[in-house]
C-alpha cells in the first residue's frame, strides 16, 4: 500500500506535518516452497511468518530537535483521501514500533524517514485496520 501526500498522519498523539508518503509493505519472513517429484516447478507454497513494515517520509522545513526513538510503541494513524470527495476518505491505523529514524539533506531540502513494524494484537489478525473502506 502506498499513500502519497496523506491528508493527516498522527503518531503517539502528535500530528506530523508535511508527510510526503507512507509505504506499507507486507514481507514474508519465511517461505516454504515444495517441488513435485522430479519437477523443477513449485507445486506448493506457504508463508508461515510475515510482518508489516511501514515507512513515513516527511519533508523537514524547520529544525526539529525531537524525534521518535527506536523501540517507541504507539498508535500510528493516517488519513488518505482517494479523491476530491470525503466519501472516498480512508483511515488506516495500527499499533506500531519505531525501528529506524533517518535524515537526508540534499539540494532539494531535508527529509526524515521513520520506519516501523506494525504489531498484531494476537499474532493472527491483520495489524492494519482500514476504516471507511467501501
| Percentage of the chain lying above the pLDDT 70 cut | 95
Nearest to 56 by CA among 128, 91, 14, 5: 5
Site of grid cell 483511515: 91
| Percentage of the chain lying above the pLDDT 90 cut | 77
What are the structural domain ranges in the chain?
Answer: 2-31+45-131
| Antiparallel, parallel or unpaired: β 8-11 and 2-4 | unpaired
Question: What are the counts of helices (DSSP H) followed by strands (DSSP E) for the chain?
Answer: 0, 9
3-state secondary structure string, 2-52?
EEECCCEEEECCEEECCEEEEEEEEEEEEEEEEECCCCCCEEEEEEEEEEE
pLDDT digits (tens, 9 = 90+) for 104-114: 999 889 999 99
Query: What does the mean pLDDT of the chain come to?
Result: 92
Taking the model in full, what pTM does it have? 0.88
What pLDDT score was predicted for residue 83?
64
Cα(85)–Cα(10) distance, integer angstroms: 21
Cα(101)–Cα(116) distance, integer angstroms: 9
What pLDDT score was predicted for residue 44?
95
pLDDT digits (tens, 9 = 90+) for 25-61: 999 999 999 999 988 999 999 999 999 999 999 999 8
- pLDDT bin (cut points 50, 70, 90) of residue 134 is very low
Amino acid at each position: 500500500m502506498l499513500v502519497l501526500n496523506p491528508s493527516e498522519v498522527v503518531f503517539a498523539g502528535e500530528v506530523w506535518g508535511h508527510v510526503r508518503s507512507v509505504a506499507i509493505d507486507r514481507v514474508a519472513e519465511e517461505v516454504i516452497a515444495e517441488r513435485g517429484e522430479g519437477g523443477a516447478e513449485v507445486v506448493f507454497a506457504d508463508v508461515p511468518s510475515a510482518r508489516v513494515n511501514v515507512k513515513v517520509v516527511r519533508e523537514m522545513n524547520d529544525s526539529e530537535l525531537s524525534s521518535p526513538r527506536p523501540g517507541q510503541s504507539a498508535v500510528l494513524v493516517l488519513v488518505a483521501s482517494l479523491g476530491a470527495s470525503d466519501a472516498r476518505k480512508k483511515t488506516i491505523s495500527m499499533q506500531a514500533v519505531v525501528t529506524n529514524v533517518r535524515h537526508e539533506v540534499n539540494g532539494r531540502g531535508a527529509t526524515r524517514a521513520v520506519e516501523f513494524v506494525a504489531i498484531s494484537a494476537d499474532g493472527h489478525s491483520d495489524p492494519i485496520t482500514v476504516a471507511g473502506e467501501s
